[in-house]
Amino acid sequence: MATKDLTLEEFGTTVSENDTVLVDFWADWCGPCKQFAPVFDAASEKHEDVVFAKVDTEDQQQLAAMAGITSIPTLMAFRGGVLVFSQAGALPGSALDSLLEQVKGLDIAEVRRMAEQQAAEQGGAAEPGQDEAVQSTASHLDEVNGR
């Protein structure tokens, strides 16, 4: 499966309407991003059940800011509309394959239950809309990164 270029307008629906989504935040001037691109593309061919999306941080500065991107490349994995992995840095192909198998192996019902519990604790809705999905991702990343 080919990779998909993702914009702010498409981010929330892409994440919420697909079972597993892997997002690569990158920029054209970034050497590690260029080195990682063929690894990401090769993985997209192996894992046809996963949506592989790329966000050009130069073109989509608002989305990158909302997601709290401070270093690129940054990978985010979503399962059932919930952020389950976020890490800056490129991964070798074998590590990316392993990550994807782990993400696909997550119990979707448990992931959603935990997301609903977290949303209830924060006073938010369990099923966010597009704007809320982007904002929720950014808020979650801030918590994870201690911001």
Please give the positions annotated as active site. 30, 33
Q: In 10 A of CB 88, how many CB atoms?
A: 14
Got the DSSP string for 16-59? Answer: HHSSEEEEEEE-TT-HHHHHHHHHHHHHHHH-TTSEEEEEETTT
> Could you tell me if 72 and 57 are in contact, meaning their C-beta atoms sit under 8 angstroms apart?
yes
User: Using an 8 Å Cβ cutoff, are 86 and 144 in contact?
Assistant: yes
